Amino acid sequence: MPSLSSTIPVCIPARWAARRFPGKLLSPWGGKTVLEAVIATAQESAIGPVIVLAADNRIQDALAKTDVQVERVAGDFLNGSE
């Protein structure tokens, strides 16, 4: 039986429309994009499956050729916490 911690999904909200830095998640950072770095950190934690909650087609398209689970979300989110 898996441990409780290995069954908890790690959900990463991924919006494009940030007020201060639109598209920040797909900007380069240390040889990866910001989103790739966040995903790698989440996967290394081994808490559970990593799911990106994409609020934009550009985010979804950027992850299309990866093994990362992407769920499309829709709404007028003011920030990633919503």
User: Around Cβ 39, how many Cβ atoms within 10 Å?
Assistant: 21
Question: Vertex 27, ends 51 and 70: CA angle to 5°?
Answer: 15
Segment 13-63, tens digit of pLDDT = 998 887 888 899 999 999 999 999 999 999 999 899 999 999 899 999 999
Alpha-carbon distance of 82 to 19, in angstroms, equals 15
Segment 60-77, tens digit of pLDDT = 999 999 999 999 998 777
Cβ proximity of 12 and 51 under 8 Å: yes
DSSP 34: H
Cβ proximity of 35 and 14 under 8 Å: yes
